[in-house]
Amino acid sequence: MAKKMKKKDVDEELLDTIRILEREWKHMQSIVSISVEPTLDGHYWEAISRAKYLYLLREARHRRLRADFH
């Protein structure tokens, strides 16, 4: 039988993942924006990073989580 995780632990892991994905998305965004000729692949990975970030942000809002990201 798997160990049941506490809501607090899951919420903290979710917030950590959101922070990581935000940095990843902003990094991809900066790479694409400074590229002379951004590739379609670059736009694809930027969109994927943004979608992951926004999905988890909505999940956090659904769980009514609040955190200071700055």
Over 90: is that where the pLDDT of 1 sits? Answer: no
Q: pLDDT averaged over the chain? A: 89
For 65, the token pair is 């989580």
Over 80: is that where the pLDDT of 70 sits? Answer: no
Find all residues with CB under 8 Å of 32, minimum gap 6, and list them: 38, 42, 43, 46
Predicted local distance difference test score (pLDDT) of residue 58:
95
Find all residues with CB under 8 Å of 45, minimum gap 6, and list them: 28
Predicted local distance difference test score (pLDDT) of residue 56:
95
What is the share, in percent, of the chain residues with pLDDT greater than 70? 93
